[in-house]
Each structure stands twice: as structure tokens, then as C-alpha cells.
């Protein structure tokens, strides 16, 4: 049994794998990390930590488990063409690897719709190129309120029953809703078009907290994979275990 942790900007995603199958998934607060390890007693652990906070919660148990932290120096099962690998978010490369191993015969563009909206491209030869970093959905609403004197912050949740997004907002609230959501859709559609012109055909996969909502809005064929990063982390773990023998 292996366990992978994706320590994000808000929560920690936990994936428990057995025979390459994800048998358990949950989201926890960082303070609960040690409890998870004690509960499952996994043989091997890989941690992607974009916040750099996991170590403090693991210190009491570090000697009891085989723990690997994913860094830019960790061996990868793909070729990383990013020019500054030390600045590349480990969740981004993990998502790309997860997509690649799900369908190795295709090019992939991965959208991770969380705090930020990221785009990452990996081709069918296992070459990771990099991508784009943009504002996430909630960040866009928050920025309008934060950087202006009178615009309100719209209480928007992609996980609830959302109203129809108008093309023309006829109140300040609906104008913000229209501008943020439609603007984000235009951004995504434009980037998909540009990548298509450069690379030809590719599979689009979306993950992250706003994935389901955005997948319904995007016109292009798109595959939602909520646990894509966890699958990628497990492939990296298996790759390193194989190389260690």
C-alpha cells in the first residue's frame, strides 16, 4: 500500500493506492497529516507540498515511514523541458504525468482550476513543455473587490447551483458575474485554440476545485479528472521505487 499527499494552498488531498488502484481519497487539514499516516501505515509515501508546511507535521513520525518529498531534483518518468525546474510547482508536473500515463499515445493539455488556473502541456513522447499560470475563479472575484473602492465581492461557489451566466449584466453584481466567468471562458477557449495551432490534436483534461463547473462551460471536448494530480504523484513514486532497486 502506497500513500501520496498533495499539499495545496488550502487543503491536503490524500490518495491511498494498492496495486496501482486508488482505493481511498479524502481531503484533510494539514494538521491531520500525521493521523493519516498512522491510520493507513503505508509502505511508501510521496509528498507534493507547494506550501512547504508538511515537514513540521511529519517530524514526529518521519523515522517510522519511508517518505519521499517531490522536488525539482526528484527523478521523473518523463522529460522535463521547463527552464527553471526549481520554480515549477510540483502539483503541475504531477498533473501532467498523471495525464500522460492515462493515455500515453496522445498529447495532453491539463487545466488545474484551483486557487490559480494553470495550463500544462505534455506531448505523446513524454516531453513536458510548461504552460501558463493565471488567476483562479475565486481570485478574480476577490481581486475586483480588493483593488477597487466600490465594487462588491460576489459570493460565488462553483459547487452550488449557480445561476445562468448572462452575456450582458444589468446590475453591478450580474455585470461582475458575467465579466469574470465569461472572461475566464474566453481566456480558456483562446488558449486551447492557440495550443491547437501549435501542437495539433491533444486531449484536454481539467482538475481542481472548480473543474466540474468550468468543464460544463467550456465548449471544447474536455475530460474532468478530479484526482489527476494524485495519480501522477503515484506514478512518480513507482518510478523512484523501481529505480531504487
Catalytic center residues: 91
Burial 78-90 (b: 16+ CB within 10 A, else e): bebebeebeebbb
Separation between Cα atoms, residue 59 and residue 222, nearest integer Å: 41
Half-sphere exposure of 159 (CA within 13 A, CB side): 5
Please name the helix (run of DSSP H) or strand (run of DSSP E) that holds residue 203, with its range, or none.
strand 203-207
C-alpha cell at position 5: 499527499
Dihedral of alpha carbons 85, 90, 92, 97, sign? positive
Query: Degrees (nearest 5) of the Cα angle 123, 117, 147?
Result: 150
Residue 7 neighbours by CB distance under 10 Å: 22
| Angstrom distances, CA of residue 57 to CA of 7, 35, 218, 220 | 12, 10, 39, 42
How many whole angstroms separate alpha carbon 163 and alpha carbon 148? 25
Spell out the alpha helix ranges (H) of 130-203.
137-146, 172-199
Amino acid at each position: 500500500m502506497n500513500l501520496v499527499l498533495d499539499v495545496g494552498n488550502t487543503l491536503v488531498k490524500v490518495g491511498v493506492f494498492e496495486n496501482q488502484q486508488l482505493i481511498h481519497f479524502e481531503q484533510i487539514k494539514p494538521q491531520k497529516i500525521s493521523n493519516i499516516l498512522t491510520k493507513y501505515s503505508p509502505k511508501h509515501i510521496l509528498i507534493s507540498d507547494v506550501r512547504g508546511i508538511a515537514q513540521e507535521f511529519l517530524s514526529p513520525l518521519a523515522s517510522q515511514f519511508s517518505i519521499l518529498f517531490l522536488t525539482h531534483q526528484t527523478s521523473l518518468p518523463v522529460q522535463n523541458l521547463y527552464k527553471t525546474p526549481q520554480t515549477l510547482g510540483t502539483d503541475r508536473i504531477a498533473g501532467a504525468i498523471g495525464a500522460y500515463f492515462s493515455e500515453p499515445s496522445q498529447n495532453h493539455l491539463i487545466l488545474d482550476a484551483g486557487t490559480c488556473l494553470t495550463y500544462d502541456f505534455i506531448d505523446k513522447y513524454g516531453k513536458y513543455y510548461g504552460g501558463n499560470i493565471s488567476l483562479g475563479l475565486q481570485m478574480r472575484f476577490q481581486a475586483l473587490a480588493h483593488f477597487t473602492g466600490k465594487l462588491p465581492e460576489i459570493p460565488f461557489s462553483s459547487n452550488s447551483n449557480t445561476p445562468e451566466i448572462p452575456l450582458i449584466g444589468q446590475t453591478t453584481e450580474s455585470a461582475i458575474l458575467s465579466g469574470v466567468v465569461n472572461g475566464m471562458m474566453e481566456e480558456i477557449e483562446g488558449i486551447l485554440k492557440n495550443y491547437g495551432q501549435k501542437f495539433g490534436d491533444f486531449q484536454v483534461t481539467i482538475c481542481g476545485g472548480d473543474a466540474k463547473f468550468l468543464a460544463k462551460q467550456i465548449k471544447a471536448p474536455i475530460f474532468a479528472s478530479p484526482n489527476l494530480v494524485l495519480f501522477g504523484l503515484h506514478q512518480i513514486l513507482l518510478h523512484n521505487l523501481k529505480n531504487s532497486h
